[in-house]
Every structure is written in C-alpha cells, then in structure tokens.
Amino acid sequence: MQNTSATNQPKERRLLQAGLIALEKGDFPVLEGLLAGPATNPSDEQDAHLLKGLLAIGERKFKAAIEHLSAVLRSDPNHLVAWFNLGQVLLNMEDYTRAMRCFVEVLRRDSGNIEALYLRGLCHRALGDHANAGRDATDVVHRQPEHVGALKELGNSLLIAGKFSLARNVFQSVNALAPSEPFVPCMIQFLSHQMCDWAPLVFAAQKDEVMVVGSTSLDVLKQRCERNEPALEPFASLVLFDDPELHEKAASLWMKKLHPKMPQEVFARLEEQKRSRPLRTPQQALKVAYISCDFYEHATAYLMAGLIEAHDRQAVEVYVLSYGQVRTDAMRQRLEKAADHFVDINNMPDWQVARWCRENDIDIAVDLKGLTRDSRPGIFAHRAAQVQVSWLGYPGSLAADFYDYMIADEFVMSEQQKAHTQEALVLMPNGYQVNDSQRPKPQPATRKEHGLPDEAVVLCCFNNHFKITESVFNCWMDVLNASSNTVLWLMAGSSEAENNLIKQAVSKGIAKDRLIFAPVLPLPQHISRLALADISLDTSPYNAHTTASDALWAGVPHLGLQGQGFAARVSSSLLHAIGMPELVTDSLERYQALLQQLTCKPKKLKALRAKLGAQKHENVLFNSAQFAKHLESAYRQMYAVWAEKLPKRDLEIR
C-alpha cells in the first residue's frame, strides 16, 4: 500500500490517525471498532471509506476495496492514496488497463512517485507493450538505481528488444544486489546463450548457500532447482538441459509460485455449472478455443493457419482468442477470415477470459503458448473449459493439474519424458506438429544473390542462436575443417552472437568468410532461399522445430540430433513423419559422422534430396486436412472422457 503513516495526518483527523495506527499494528478488531463508531467531523466519512478500503485490501477482499476507494475518489478526485491503492487492487486482479489509468492519475498529480511509475510499467508489460514498459523501467532506474523490481523489468525489456549484452549487464547488477532474487542467474545464463558466449559464469552465492568447488554455473542452477528453489525459468531449462525430470520440476516450481492451485470448492462449483448444461451429442460441433498472442506473421501461425481453414465445421466451431499488440499483416487477416470467431482478449484479465469462455460454453481450450514468453497460463488456472489442452507452443510438460492433456506423438515422448509428464498424452498418428499445406512454395533463386558460393556444400542452420551450443558448433567446425568445400549458413542475429561465433570458428582454424549470415526475410523469400542449401542442421538439446519443417518443405534434407526431452526429439518426429528416419542420429558422434559422410558423398546427398522431393507432397506431414481430421477425433475423445466422468487417460489417435 502507499505510505499512509499516521504521523503524516492532520491532528483533526483523529479517526484516520487511529485507524492507520491499528492498520500498521495489524489490529483489525480495534480498526473495526473505530469504523463502527459515529462520525465526529466532516472528513470522517471519507476517511472511513479509505480505512475500509485498506482493510479490505489486507483481507484480500478486492471487490469491497474497489467500492470504498472509489467512494473516496468521488468525494476527492485528487486523493493520491486512494488512486494508488485502487491501482494496486486492480493490478492484483489482473485488470491492467484500469490499473494503469490509476497510476497515470497518480503521476499526473505527483510525477516523482517512483512506485506508481514502476507499477505503470508492469501494466504496460502485461498488456504486451514492451517498449513503454522499458521506458518506465528506465525512468525508475535513473531515479533509483538499486530498485530491484525496475532493474528486472529493464532487463526483460532489453531482452525482448534483442539487446542481449545490456540485458545481461542489468541482470548481473540484480544478482549482485539481491543474490536470492528468483530466476535472475538463469536469465544471465540464458542471455549468454543468446549471444553464443560460452565462457564460464559465476553467480553470487545465496544466503547460507555452500557452493561446491568446481561447480559450473549450470551445475549451480540445477542444484538449486533440485532443492526446490525457484531457480530455473521453464523455457530456459529446455534450452540449457536435456533432462525431462529437471524440466518438470522447473515448470512445477514456476506454476506453484505464479498460479496457486484453485481452491477445491471453487473447482467443484465450476464443474457443477458445466455439468448442469446439456452434453454435446456426437452430431453437434464442439466449441474449441485456440488461445495465443502469436496469430500474426509468427512461426506458430505459419504452422496453424491451414488447420484453422481445414477444420470441419460439423465437428468443431473454431474460436481464436488473441492477445498482445494488434497486428494487421496478411497472416492476421487470413486467420481472422478462417476462424468462426476471432476475439481480442488483450484487455481482459485472466479470470475474465476464463469466465468469458465458460459463458460462451467453450468445450475445449487449447493453450498454444505454454510457458513461453507472454504466455497466460492464468487463463487455464481459472478453468476456461472442462477440457484444457497444451499443444505446439511449449515442448514439455506444464506440470500443473489444470492442464488435462498434452498433444504429442510416439517419437517426441521418450520413456524418460513420459515419466515426467503430468498431462495425459494424446498421441497423434503422424506427428504432433501441424503444418500448413498452403505454405509458400520455393521460387527460383540463385546462390549469388544470397551471398553463397556456387560450388560449395552449404550447411545451414536457421535456428535462433540460443539453441546453438558449444559442443554442436564445435562439431560443425570439425566438419568444415575436414571438408574445405563447405560453408556454414546461419541466421543473422545480434552483433554479439555473430562476433562470438566468428571468433569461435577462427579459434578452430576456420576462416571467418566460411560463416555466412542470412538476414530475416518474409516467409515466401525465406523458403525460396532455403532451397539453395544442401543440408539443414539440427541443434540439441533444443532441436529445430518450425525451422526443420521449413527445410523439409523447401526440399532440403534435415539432419536430426535426438535427445531425451520433448524439445530434443522434434526433428526425429518430423523425419519419421516424412519417411526419412535414416537422418535421425542419437549422439553427437553419430551426428558428426553422418554429416561428414554427406558432405563428402554428393551422390548420397542427391539421392536423399530426390527421395524428399518425391515424398513431401504425398506425405502426411504437410497435409492440413488430414491432420484436422485426426485432431477432431482427438477432441471428441477428450470430451467423451469428461462427459462420461472417467479419469483422464492417454489417448492414441488412429
């Protein structure tokens, strides 16, 4: 709450003084007795509303708090304490638009209010406005350089803006100021991977923590997570470790910290409401809601668009629930046209979205974000639908009991991954990854126009740089050393990442001009240039996902490197689906050996390319309509399990 110390109050406002003293002591019975007494001066009514509002906040009775604080503002529109605390209440209720208006009102009257500025920034970030969130965080840090919360917000904003070195510096400052601050060392490690900076890191020890001599920074993060400390951000855990048990623990700790379990009585009431409505008959379409902030020119939309169009409207009624910044690109327009209902939920808090879904009788809610950036698992924690599904966005278990199913396939689910997946599995017959049959087809392009040598063997990896590990990169360098007529074609990124990769290559005896960086292009041009490569390269423990299916669509053989976790097995899934399992390897040694063989045997490479070209258009991997039929069957089976009041169970779709 905003500072409302009794010592700052005028002497004549005795009710307010006494009430604030009781509040500071936590003596609620005394406060309630004061509020029950008669008013003794004209300000008592306003002060009583303020005290009742503050008391309601302490008791987490937010609706009552809003009523009382609003009453204060009706009598005094310039009441800073009421504005500030009303903003905090609305922020706690995830009503970010109204909360931000309150902090704006505070700042209009008190431009030096650092906490209001900080909290306005939190609202900006929650609404997907990362630029303004960063500006507010920067202003706070300029005024109060050791404000830990603002430093974290600034670090996140710099990360999103691609300023990885500056972001890492900020998080290192936070780690020095507050060694026990959750997840900060993990962000430092992740940002180092973003820059392909594989130098050893040192983290500040937490209180009473004994650092084991010789432990690496990764060891420290793993040990903290194993002690049930909130140390590993879930998505980063997939990038840093190939360990499904650790992935599950990281996700579980994250969920428990941010999304506490719904009280059983609330869950029971919502379940009763759902079951009071008539069940869908097999002839009625199920209402399915896809929820994400990526319904624009984004990898998820590139995969999903054909599915939304291909869904049989006799089987499903398609709701697309979108949040984040409003986009107007061609993909957004395509999806708006394809969906039966395209709904902007950006200004709705999680609980309100869940309520909207229930009021609109959504049967199945599908989370396409999971625990990636800008995800909103809170919508699912509030039970948007009787059946809730994780799919496509997050390759791993979300480790929360409010997700019923995870869509997967037999190849992404190792035995270790199965043992550490809390959701029931829906195993798709031809791979879990949907693909758009209408993806742009490669058009004629030349190597010269893309800066590639005509006669070289072009090895390409268009993955994000954070996926490139030192061991995989050194493997590539060994192949380049052994095959002088090869070049490595990578996606352009931050200057730090490119410089570090060039530096590492040179240290391995590779001339820097054998690394070629490709700028970001629109999807049609990207697919066309991708066809110029000879081999697409995998990374591990986080494989190529959409980038792998892009390569296969462009007719480029993809060399897979399979691990234990879901994220480390996606290439295997795609290669099995397209009928090329011979390109799956299960160790770095086998991966390097096969890559070396392919670079030296052009006939074998040509034969693989011909096989891929013959199969890709006839194969199920790129058949949106067939995938839609299988998915609709899966939805019907999930719904039937719920309707028949059976325990959720693994489903194998045929």
**pLDDT at residue 567, as a whole number:** 98
With residue 652 as reference, give the H or E element that holds it. Answer: strand 651-652
Q: What pLDDT, in 10s, does the model give residues 214-257?
A: 789 999 999 999 999 999 999 999 999 999 999 999 999 999 98
Interhelix angle for 80-92 vs 114-126, to 10°?
30
Task: Tell me how far apart the alpha carbons of residues 139 and 144 are, in angstroms, rounded to a whole number.
Answer: 9
- pLDDT > 80? residue 12: no
CA angle 556, 558, 560 (to 5 degrees): 180
Q: What is the pLDDT of residue 49?
A: 84
* Backbone φ, ψ for residue 539 (5° rounding): -125, 165
**pLDDT at residue 435, rounded to an integer:** 96
Average of per-residue pLDDT across 274-288: 91
Residue 633 has what pLDDT?
98
Residue whose token pair is 């976790």: 565
More confident residue, 35 or 496: 496
pLDDT tens column, 352-368: 999 999 999 999 999 99
Per-residue pLDDT, 273: 77
pLDDT for residue 22: 65
Note the pLDDT tens digit of each residue in 181-196: 999 999 999 999 999 9
Share of the chain above pLDDT 90, in %: 83
Q: Which of 266, 273, 267, 389 is nearest to 641 (CA)?
A: 389
**Model pLDDT for residues 20-41, shown as the tens digit of each residue:** 776 666 766 766 666 666 555 6
DSSP state of 279: P
Averaged over 485-495, what is the pLDDT? 97
242: three-class secondary structure by DSSP: coil
Structure tokens at 384: 């948007």
Question: How high is the pLDDT of residue 480?
Answer: 98
Distance separating alpha carbons of residues 222 and 239, to the nearest angstrom = 13
Instruction: Taking residues 316-338, report their average pLDDT.
Output: 95
Confidence class of residue 204 from pLDDT cuts 50, 70 and 90? confident
How far is 496 from 163, CA to CA, in rounded Å?
9
Helices (H) and strands (E) in the chain, counts: 28, 14
pLDDT in tens, 86-118: 999 999 998 999 999 999 999 999 999 999 999
What integer pLDDT is reported at residue 333 of this predicted model?
Answer: 97
Low-confidence winner among 20-29, 298-307, 632-641 (lowest mean pLDDT): 20-29
Instruction: Tell me the average pLDDT across 450-476.
Output: 97
11 has pLDDT over 50: no
Question: What is the average per-residue pLDDT within 476-485?
Answer: 97
Average pLDDT of the chain to the nearest whole number = 92
Cβ-contact 407, 428 below 8 angstroms: yes
| Residue 303: pLDDT band with limits 50, 70, 90 | very high
291: β partners: 321, 367
pLDDT at 4 over 60: no
Residue 367's pLDDT is 98
- Model pTM score: 0.92
Q: What is the rounded average pLDDT of the residues 639-647?
A: 95
Q: How many whole angstroms separate alpha carbon 386 and alpha carbon 369?
A: 19
Q: Cβ of 613: how many Cβ atoms within 10 Å?
A: 10
Of the chain, the percentage scoring pLDDT greater than 70 comes to: 93
368 to 160, 289, 309, 505, 636: CA distances (angstroms): 20, 10, 17, 37, 19
- Structure confidence at residue 6 (pLDDT): 43
Instruction: Say what the pLDDT of residue 52 is.
Output: 85
Task: Provide the token pair at 267.
Answer: 């869950």
Order of strands, sheet of 341-344, starting from the edge strand that comes earlier in the sequence: 341-344, 316-322, 286-292, 364-367, 387-390, 405-408, 424-427, 651-652
Residues 6+ apart with CB under 8 A from 197: 496, 500
Is 316 in contact with 635 (CB distance < 8 Å)? Answer: yes
| pLDDT of res. 40 | 58
Rounded to the nearest angstrom, the gap between the alpha carbon of residue 404 and the centroid of all alpha carbons in its chain is 19
pLDDT above 60 (res 60): yes
Each residue's pLDDT tens digit, 388-425: 999 999 999 999 999 999 999 999 999 999 999 999 99
Spatial separation of the C-alpha atoms in residues 505 and 513, rounded to whole Å: 10
pLDDT at 5 over 60: no
